Amino acid sequence: MKKFLSLSILLLFVFSSVCLTAPTALGASESEADDRQLLVVSDMGVHSTHPAGSLPAIRDAILAEADMIRLALQKTADGVFILSEHTDLSIMCDTDATPVSQKNWSDIQTLRLREKTGGNTPLTEEPLMNLTAVINTFGDRTTFLLDAPWEERDALYQAVQETEHPESCVFVLRTSAKKAVEWKNALDTDIQFMVYEKTNIVFTAISAAKTLANEENGYLWLATSNHYGMIFNDIVTRRFSSLRGVMLQFTDPLECGKRQDTASYWEDVVARGYNMICTDDVGGCRDFVSNSNTARQELTDLLRDIDANWTLPDFSGTAFSDYRFRYNNAYAQAKKLSLQAFSGFNACKSAAYDLRTVTREIDENYAALASGSAGRTITPARISIASAAAAVFIGFEWFIHKHRGKKKN
């Protein structure tokens, strides 16, 4: 019995020592900084006060510092591209439901836009715009995402080449990444393009990302109606760092997994690797980007200050291993965020808080730890582990006692 008791005590001692000693975290590793940018994309201009797709709406998006403006396009019977989400213009204007493809530009240019799309809202003085006029007017001040049906790609390419600023355009191609790249490579000039992929199939999303990884002028637009869709899964999003830009459209719930067009959801997708936010709230999103950049810079400055003026004490005591572990984790997370060009505001603030907190606690407690007056840190995790160790010990002793009783019988 004494041998079994000794073995039990030894087992408990080893198990408790392992569980109660904090592991050592790896220090933050250096890597190249991410040179991508967080981009704000306006959807058909700022249309809270002007009709979507009107000149004032586009002008206000530029004034609100949108990096890009998505333009939904339809082609008339005589080959003119107009700014419209709908083939039925009666939704936007006082006209019949004849499709745009059956109307000539001369029939459309006299129409005036309603204040809001849908319903019988009052008409404004703003006309439907054609693409050529918009590019010639604003092409030197912004970048346009030209979103037309795939079958109109050749006609759209020719129309853009005849404008004053073809270099300001990114062609949205609603097809597979492979077909988009093949079409782009067959053109006479280099273009910027964006592949639209709506999917909840992991292999489809990964295939699109892999195809565009080596395309210097290629962007990816992912979409899903599923809140937990695969386009938000780490299996897919970890491939985004090799792409120039990946966009999510918040203006349609069925395009962004039913997420809302608000800062909390922008923060969520930015943390996953998306760096292009298509929004109806250009001003709010620009503030989010500005605040995020400021928080990231403050985090970078904090890291520089720590590197220059603070040193992790060289203390090998068991109690101090907790602090070392927390510090290494906090530093590694802060370093990772500082090297990303578009870390979210809350993520940067949280990382800075964690790093400041652990360095302050180390400064306050190092002297006590060094003198041996501080014991182990009691945490919920350690209580659970210690309880498990006690349960193992008691169970083992019960087993020995029962086994001994059987032998006596």
Walk me through the domains of the chain, giving residue ranges and CATH numbers.
2-32+293-371 (no CATH), 39-290 (3.20.20.190)
Q: How far apart are CA 126 and CA 132, in angstroms?
A: 17
Instruction: Of 69-73, 312-316, 349-353, 369-373, give the lowest mean pLDDT range.
Output: 369-373
Q: Is 78 exposed, middle or buried (0-12, 13-18, 19+ CB in 10 A)?
A: exposed
81 and 159 Cβ atoms separated by less than 8 Å? yes
406 or 201, higher pLDDT: 201
> Mean pLDDT for the chain?
87
Output the pLDDT for position 36: 78
220 and 226 Cβ atoms separated by less than 8 Å? no
34 and 273 Cβ atoms separated by less than 8 Å? no
Q: What is the pTM of this model?
A: 0.81
341 or 152, higher pLDDT: 152
Reported confidence tier of residue 30, pLDDT bands at 50, 70, 90: very low
Output the pLDDT for position 380: 58
319 and 375 Cβ atoms separated by less than 8 Å? yes
The C-alpha torsion from 339 through 205 and 249 to 59, rounded to 10°, is 70
148 and 172 Cβ atoms separated by less than 8 Å? yes
Structure tokens at 354: 């964690």
Q: How far apart are CA 340 and CA 331, in angstroms?
A: 14
Encode pLDDT of 343-396 as tens digits: 899 999 999 999 999 999 888 887 666 665 554 555 555 567 767 777 777 877
* Nearest CA among 228, 183, 220 for reference residue 198: 220
Beta-carbon contacts of residue 403 (< 8 Å; ≥ 6 apart): none
Q: How far apart are CA 203 and CA 209, in angstroms?
A: 10
- Residue 22 in this model has a pLDDT that exceeds 50: no
- Residue 266 in this model has a pLDDT that exceeds 60: yes
Instruction: Of 33-37, 129-133, 154-158, 350-354, give the lowest mean pLDDT range.
Output: 33-37
197 and 220 Cβ atoms separated by less than 8 Å? yes
